[in-house]
């Protein structure tokens, strides 16, 4: 098993490589190579033959790249006790990720600690003085990733974690049609101390299986929808590819779950792609589906009457992801196979459906992930199969007096703050709730951890 973390991604965004100058037309032959070294890449521009994208480090406050062996197409940030708000570098953070290996029996949950994550400005200063530093001192600035694996039967479709009664739990959706709940405490202890991690890895190498603390096999197929309630600890919603949603509630012992065998099903056998509990109402749940709809449920009602509001044609194709604004709960953002992002005001949902407050068509392929910033109510990020992560701020308005003359720039919405590239087939992103402005993202090509100068 191979895991590593590097200081910078192998690929990035912001400016073209110096080799691109050779293909530029009408360039002054007397201009030096340094003066024509690079130019800013604008979204929508086609690269010419021989041109490459190279990262502009000045556009990032933090930028790191990590590999985990088999691709992890889902993960979640693990809340920690290192401090509520951390902006000084180096940073440390914890995540739990799920692999999608070629063979079902070799999949794993990976509990990871990423530490010694220096900021871009720090690394630039370090490189200036590198000649005077010893090799040992240079090694001290290298990022570190410690990993404690758990064997998992089947590829992991979706993974979400929560803290319950002092323990860190993770729920995993298996391609085999089961939803498991795991206690991650042993793994979190192991990644803290090298000797404990060595002992743990030795046990793992001897095929010592760690069992989930609870498994639900009542779904009729595999699924993707999964979310822990933020207002009622221990409550979980899971949705499958047959359109069924099951609600889990912790029992009186606090160690097991009661799962209602009667599913909530208004998606009529169409796959439930994503689920989101309301950030402030414990009985309200949102779902989106391949049937192109977004639905709002009241879980106090019976299964056949619980769907209260529906937007039937929220997108022109499958609705893949939704995110409920954690600070302004009347707003939601959705992303679909049509490449569109829609921002919704739930107060406008009614019997006749609703129209989005705003629509953005920046992505050129299906949107696979979207999430509001945890504290900035107007900021969200989106990612997709077009290998782009976009940062947005809805509070920005177009200034007609300062409209760019360049035709490409004129087509960009003013709310678009930043485009991050360098990953292949992006699957999921999360803002780190304790490291302001920091995004962790996963794709077929690995993980990125970054913070831009825009947020």
Cα 180 to chain center, whole Å?
21
Closest-CA residue to 394 (of 418, 415, 417, 410): 415
pLDDT given for residue 344 in this prediction: 97
Q: How far does the chain reach from its first CA to its final CA, in angstroms? A: 35
User: Would you say 79 and 433 are in contact if contact means Cβ atoms under 8 Å apart?
Assistant: yes
Closest-CA residue to 363 (of 342, 344, 382, 343): 382
Name the region of 379 (left: φ>0; alpha: ψ -120 to 50; beta: rest).
beta
pLDDT given for residue 439 in this prediction: 98
pLDDT given for residue 122 in this prediction: 58
Name the region of 123 (left: φ>0; alpha: ψ -120 to 50; beta: rest).
alpha
d(CA 32, CA 38): 12
What global pTM score does this model have? 0.88
The residues with which 168 forms a beta bridge, in sequence order, are 163
Q: How far apart, in Å, are the Cα atoms of 393 and each of 58, 129, 161, 406?
A: 21, 37, 27, 22
pLDDT given for residue 61 in this prediction: 96
| Contact partners, residue 31, CB within 8 Å, separation at least 6 | none
Q: Other CB atoms closer than 10 Å to residue 434's CB: what's the count? A: 19
Task: Please tell me whether residue 124 adopts helix, strand or coil conformation.
Answer: helix
**What's 138-175 look like in SS3?**
HHCCCCEEEEEEEEECCCEEEEEEEEECCEEEEEEEEC
d(CA 237, CA 286): 10
d(CA 5, CA 91): 13
pLDDT tens per residue, range 72-93: 999 999 999 998 899 999 999 9
Closest-CA residue to 333 (of 284, 383, 297, 290): 383
Structural tokens at position 342: 């829609």
Closest-CA residue to 333 (of 357, 297, 363): 357
pLDDT given for residue 1 in this prediction: 40
Q: How far apart, in Å, are the Cα atoms of 408 and each of 137, 393, 403?
A: 46, 20, 12
Count of H-run helices and E-run strands, the chain: 5, 31
Residue with the two structure tokens 């087939």: 425
Closest-CA residue to 220 (of 239, 207, 234): 239
Q: How many CA atoms lie within 13 A of 214 on its CB side?
A: 18
d(CA 226, CA 223): 8
164 phi/psi in degrees, rounded to 5: -135, 120
Residue 133 burial (10 A CB sphere; 0-12, 13-18, 19+): middle
pLDDT given for residue 207 in this prediction: 79
Per-residue pLDDT of the chain (455 residues; tens, 9 = 90+): 445 555 443 333 333 333 333 332 333 444 444 444 567 777 667 777 877 788 888 999 999 999 988 999 999 999 999 988 999 999 999 999 999 998 888 999 999 999 999 998 755 555 555 554 555 546 788 999 999 999 999 999 999 999 999 999 999 999 999 999 999 999 999 999 999 999 999 988 887 789 999 999 999 999 999 999 999 999 999 999 999 999 999 998 888 999 988 999 999 899 999 999 999 999 999 999 999 999 999 999 999 999 999 999 999 999 999 999 999 999 999 999 999 999 999 999 976 778 999 999 999 999 999 999 999 999 999 999 999 999 999 999 876 656 555 566 667 899 999 999 999 999 999 999 999 999 999 999 999 999 999 99
Structural tokens at position 51: 């041109």
400 phi/psi in degrees, rounded to 5: -60, -30
């Amino acid at each position: 098993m191979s895991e590593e973390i590097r200081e910078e991604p192998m690929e990035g965004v912001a400016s073209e490589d110096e080799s691109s100058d050779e293909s530029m037309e009408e360039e002054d032959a007397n201009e030096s190579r340094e003066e024509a070294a690079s130019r800013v890449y604008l979204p929508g521009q086609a690269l010419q033959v021989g041109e490459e994208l190279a990262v502009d480090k000045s556009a990032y406050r933090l930028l790191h790249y990590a590999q985990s062996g088999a691709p992890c197409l889902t993960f979640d940030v693990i809340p920690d006790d290192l401090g509520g708000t951390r902006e000084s570098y180096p940073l440390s953070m914890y995540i739990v990720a799920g692999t999608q290996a070629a063979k079902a029996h070799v999949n794993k949950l990976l509990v990871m600690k990423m530490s010694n994550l220096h900021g871009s400005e720090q690394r630039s200063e370090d490189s200036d003085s590198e000649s005077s530093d010893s090799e040992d001192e240079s090694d001290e600035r290298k990022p570190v990733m410690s990993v404690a694996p758990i064997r998992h039967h089947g590829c992991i479709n979706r993974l979400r974690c929560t803290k319950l009664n002092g323990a860190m739990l993770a729920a995993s959706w298996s391609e085999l049609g089961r939803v498991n709940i795991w206690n991650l405490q042993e793994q979190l202890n192991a990644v803290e101390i090298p000797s404990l991690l060595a002992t743990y890895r030795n046990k793992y190498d001897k095929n010592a299986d760690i069992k989930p603390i609870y498994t639900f096999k009542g779904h009729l197929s595999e699924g993707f929808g999964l979310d822990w309630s933020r207002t009622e600890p221990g409550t979980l919603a899971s949705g499958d590819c047959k359109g069924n949603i099951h609600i889990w509630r912790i029992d009186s012992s606090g160690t097991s779950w009661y799962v209602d065998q009667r599913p909530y099903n208004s998606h009529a056998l169409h796959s439930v792609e994503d689920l989101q509990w309301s950030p402030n109402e414990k009985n309200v749940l949102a779902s989106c589906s391949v049937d192109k709809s977004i639905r709002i449920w009241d879980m106090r009602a019976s299964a056949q009457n619980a769907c209260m509001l529906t937007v039937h044609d929220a997108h022109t194709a499958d609705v893949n992801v939704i995110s409920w604004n954690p600070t302004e709960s009347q707003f939601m953002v959705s992303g679909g196979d049509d490449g569109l992002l829609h921002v919704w005001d739930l107060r406008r949902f009614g019997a006749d459906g609703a129209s989005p407050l705003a629509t953005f068509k920046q992505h050129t392929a299906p949107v696979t992930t979207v999430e509001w910033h945890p504290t900035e109510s107007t900021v969200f990020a989106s990612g997709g199969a077009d290998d782009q992560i976009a940062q947005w701020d809805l509070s920005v308005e177009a200034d007609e007096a300062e409209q760019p003359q360049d035709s490409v720039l004129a087509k960009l919405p003013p709310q678009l703050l930043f485009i991050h590239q360098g990953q292949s087939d992006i699957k999921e992103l999360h803002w780190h709730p304790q490291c302001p402005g920091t995004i962790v993202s996963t794709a077929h090509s690995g993980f990125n951890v970054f913070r831009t100068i825009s947020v």
